[in-house]
Amino acid sequence: MAISCITVQNCGQMYQAAKQLESKPVLEKIYALILSKFKRTKENGAILLLEFEEFLKIISSDRLVVHSEDFVIFSVIGWVMNADLGTPNTNNANKLNYSSKGQSVPQDNFDDEIKEIIGEKEQSGAMGSDSEDSCRKVSVHSSNSSENKVTLLKTSHGRNAYLPKLLHACRFHLASPQCLSQVFLHPLIQQDPEARKIIFLAVLDKVLCVKRRHHETDKRTPFACNFDTIFFRVLMCFALITLAMLLALTNE
């Protein structure tokens, strides 16, 4: 099998052949290609063929090249949605095919759960966390994701069982508020209490980060202070709208 023949277009087929032949050099070449061309390999469905540990290794890597962490998070949702481990469904994988309208948030003591999470976050000193780093290689979860071998879970829910571990590999402090809000309302997240808690904590971290920046603007120029004040108010409005949507969905 010629390693030089591996391209973005055929890496999916080459991956399947390399797995059957147990060709480690070819697999390593494919992994390197996916790391450098993650967006294109996702669009052609190649990453959907990856097994759990392989996909976790990719999204946990400091060498992963992406223009936005939003793309990585959406890729996790797409990989889990592709429940058939052998056949990629690119139509469902490249976008979140759901509408938040009509979706209901599970009622299992949701308000108490949120209060408990907020209480835990305040006690753990979340205000001191470094959530403003912009480099993809910075991650508080990297040591727990790729280096520690994870036991594969075999359940009737297919890939859903891997969702929390994959979410822990994402760099949520680099994600946009819009991405976090959309993912939080996704049915996959709402049906998994652990995944729902992970995303909620990510949203809370984002709000606390902006709040901390808002309090630190006194030492900066008037223009910077004014910009941060506007940004903080916009983000808070966005958070309030999201909570209003959740309450509306809960009452339906």
| Digit-coded pLDDT (tens) for 144-182 | 333 333 334 433 358 999 999 999 999 999 999 899 989
Q: What pLDDT does residue 242 have?
A: 73
Mean pLDDT of all residues in 85-108: 44
Task: Write out pLDDT tens, residues 56-77.
Answer: 999 999 999 999 999 999 999 9
Q: How far apart are the C-alpha atoms of 238 and 86, rounded to whole Å?
A: 39
Mean pLDDT of all residues in 234-242: 72
Q: What pLDDT does residue 229 have?
A: 60
Backbone angles phi, psi at 239, to 5 degrees: -65, -40
Who contacts 101 (Cβ-Cβ below 8 Å, separation ≥6)?
none
Q: What pLDDT does residue 245 have?
A: 76
Q: What pLDDT does residue 241 have?
A: 79
Nearest to 214 by CA among 203, 201, 227, 202: 227
Backbone angles phi, psi at 81, to 5 degrees: -65, -25
Q: Give me the helix-helix angle, 110-123 and 193-215, nearest 10°.
A: 50
Q: How confident is the model at residue 205 (pLDDT cuts 50, 70, 90)?
A: confident
Q: What is the mean pLDDT of the chain?
A: 73
Cβ-in-10-Å burial (0-12, 13-18, 19+) of 89 comes to: middle
Residue 113, token pair as written in the block: 């759960």
Secondary structure letter of residue 95 according to DSSP: S
Nearest to 175 by CA among 40, 80, 66: 66
Q: How far apart are the C-alpha atoms of 147 and 192, rounded to whole Å?
A: 25
Q: What pLDDT does residue 36 have?
A: 94
Helix (H) or strand (E) segment spanning residue 34: helix 24-36
Nearest to 158 by CA among 183, 186, 188, 187: 188
Q: How far apart are the C-alpha atoms of 183 and 231, rounded to whole Å?
A: 22
pLDDT of 33 over the 90 cut: yes
